[in-house]
């Protein structure tokens, strides 16, 4: 037990010191190898290669690259205009547009960070100029960016599926209802706050011609998630191949439909994609080493015995899992949390009768909520930087939105059909 506590403590110390999570994982894995008395020259290279050697994770760079193409091609502006057309005259209209645009954008990129950077870069300054408080503008943007990795496609779902060998197509389908519920929950929070706050209301009216042009401009970008899900469900391509299809589709849309100057920016987009993918792969490789160390230390058996003894009911186990993951999300990047804990927790969940897709969505939702929670919430950091406020200011204002997301998380935890109905209807699970 002492070696395990030592490794976990070392992990948190390195994170608090500001060391990037991928290098913190590497330091802890090497320390663990020495701790159990193995030769690092044998264990470390094998573990790194084993963690990265997966056909499934090839989808990650493709989805990241597709998001970069869509963002650079001017898709963000089109989605914001389309959202404004739909709900732009509500009270606190621009805040509601922010949330709806994130829902649409999430169906294209599958990345919370990309959502915050693109949507936030456009709407946070616009909201501040329109009269919203900067901390409220940041809170809305950071919390709504969480929707991105829930509505398919989703990078964290690909990571989970590759880690525990769960159907990624089923995970994608299972994320649709929870993603919509999160969006509606955040919109409800804004609506409630608008009763006690003097939020501005837009009076902009679009002509029929303008409405038609805006709608047509959004059709092709919003068609990407339909193509991905349709292709997976029909068996035309696998989830991994869907990533390549999405990248190709984004290139075509950005070049011929939105007419963005994409080709000049392809080298920089490829560099960003490579950096993002390399970080995830390095974490996965080191997580494989840690999983072998934890197996040697019998962590999984000890946790299984603890659950069997004290948490032998699904309700109690899910309470424990949600508390653990929400706490981990405050300090650790979402993909890292999934890679580290999913191999340990998923078998226990299956033994308690919890469906793998439902448990996968629970883990993914916990992981992405962590993107908006201090002190290590990367989306909150990005939003605060755009809004030019302190992290503490953003954290105070984001609390009601986080509560709404946790409420949806509890619904997903205790109402299985929310995650299993659509995959079952599509024939992806039994």
How many other C-beta atoms can be found within 10 angstroms of the C-beta atom of residue 200?
A: 15
Alpha-carbon gap, residue 378 to 391, rounded angstroms: 11
Q: Express each pLDDT in 205-247 by its tens digit.
A: 778 888 888 888 778 777 777 788 788 777 788 777 888 888 8
What pLDDT is stored for residue 388 in this prediction? 87
Q: What angle do CA 157, 159, 163 make, to 5 degrees?
A: 115
Q: Express each pLDDT in 250-309 by its tens digit.
A: 888 877 776 666 777 788 888 888 887 887 788 777 777 777 777 777 777 777 788 778
What pLDDT is stored for residue 303 in this prediction? 76
Residue with the larger pLDDT of the pair 334 and 164: 164
Tokens of 277: 């993918």
Q: Express each pLDDT in 302-343 by its tens digit.
A: 777 887 788 888 999 999 999 988 888 877 777 778 888 888
What pLDDT is stored for residue 42 in this prediction? 67
The highest-confidence range among 143-152, 174-183, 292-301, by mean pLDDT, is 174-183
Cβ distance 172 to 153 under 8 Å? Answer: yes
Element (H, E) at 305: helix 299-310
Residue with the larger pLDDT of the pair 367 and 66: 367
Residue 53 has pLDDT above 90, yes or no: no
Alpha-carbon gap, residue 184 to 80, rounded angstroms: 17
Residue 127 has pLDDT above 80, yes or no: yes
What pLDDT is stored for residue 305 in this prediction? 80
Domain ranges for the chain: 19-425
Neighbouring C-alpha atoms within 13 Å toward the C-beta of 117:
10
Q: At what angle do helices 21-35 and 262-296 cross, to 10 degrees?
A: 30
Alpha-carbon gap, residue 68 to 155, rounded angstroms: 14
Q: Express each pLDDT in 378-395 by its tens digit.
A: 788 888 888 888 888 888
Residue 41 has pLDDT above 70, yes or no: no
Confidence tier at 419 by pLDDT (50, 70, 90): very high
Cβ distance 363 to 345 under 8 Å? Answer: yes
Q: How far is CA 394 from CA 119, 380, 383, 423, in A?
A: 17, 7, 8, 37
Confidence tier at 356 by pLDDT (50, 70, 90): very high
Alpha-carbon gap, residue 176 to 335, rounded angstroms: 20
Q: How far is CA 27 from CA 5, 171, 186, 343, 384, in A?
A: 15, 32, 39, 20, 30
pTM of the model: 0.84
DSSP characters for 35-80?
HTT--HHHHHHHHHHHHH--SGGGHHHHHHHHHHHHHHTTHHHHHH
For the four alpha carbons of 73, 75, 77 and 82, in that order, the dihedral sign comes to positive
The highest-confidence range among 62-66, 91-95, 178-182, by mean pLDDT, is 178-182
């Amino acid at each position: 037990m002492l070696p395990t506590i030592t490794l976990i403590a070392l992990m948190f110390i390195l994170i608090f010191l500001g060391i990037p999570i991928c290098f913190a994982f590497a330091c802890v894995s090497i320390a663990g190898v020495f701790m159990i008395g193995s030769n690092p020259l044998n264990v470390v290279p094998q573990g790194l290669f084993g963690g990265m050697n997966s056909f499934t994770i090839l989808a990650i760079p493709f989805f990241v690259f597709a998001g970069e193409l869509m963002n650079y091609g001017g898709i963000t502006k089109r989605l914001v205009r389309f959202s404004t057309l739909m709900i732009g005259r509500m009270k606190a209209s621009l805040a509601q547009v922010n949330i709806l645009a994130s829902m649409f954008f999430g169906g294209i990129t599958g990345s919370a960070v990309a959502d915050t950077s693109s949507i936030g870069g456009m709407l946070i300054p616009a909201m501040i100029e329109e009269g919203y408080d900067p901390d409220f503008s940041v809170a809305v943007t950071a919390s709504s960016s969480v929707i991105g990795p829930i509505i398919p496609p989703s990078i964290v779902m690909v990571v989970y599926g590759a880690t525990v060998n769960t159907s990624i197509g089923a995970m994608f389908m299972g994320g649709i209802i929870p993603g919509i519920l999160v969006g509606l929950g955040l919109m409800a929070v804004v609506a409630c706050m608008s009763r006690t706050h003097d939020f501005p209301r837009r009076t902009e009216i679009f002509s029929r011609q303008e409405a038609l042009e805006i709608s047509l401009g959004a059709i092709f970008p919003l068609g990407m998630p339909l193509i991905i899900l349709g292709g997976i469900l029909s068996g035309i391509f696998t989830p991994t191949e869907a990533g390549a299809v999405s990248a190709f589709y984004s290139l075509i849309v950005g070049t011929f439909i939105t007419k963005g100057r994409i080709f000049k920016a392809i080298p920089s987009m490829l560099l960003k994609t490579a950096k993002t993918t390399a970080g995830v792969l390095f974490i996965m490789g080191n997580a494989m080493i840690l999983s072998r160390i934890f197996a040697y230390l019998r962590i999984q058996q000890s946790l299984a015995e603890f659950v069997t003894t004290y948490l032998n009911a699904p309700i109690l186990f899910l309470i424990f899992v949600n508390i653990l993951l929400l706490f981990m999300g405050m300090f650790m990047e979402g993909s890292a949390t999934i890679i580290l804990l999913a191999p340990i927790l998923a078998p226990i969940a299956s033994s308690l009768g919890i469906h793998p897709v439902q448990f996968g969505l629970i883990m993914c939702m916990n992981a992405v909520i962590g993107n908006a929670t201090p002190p290590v919430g990367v989306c909150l950091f990005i939003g605060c930087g755009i809004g030019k406020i302190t992290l503490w200011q953003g954290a105070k204002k984001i609390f009601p939105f986080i509560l709404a997301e946790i409420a949806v998380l509890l619904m997903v935890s205790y109402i299985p059909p929310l995650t299993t109905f659509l995959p079952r209807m599509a024939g992806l699970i039994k």
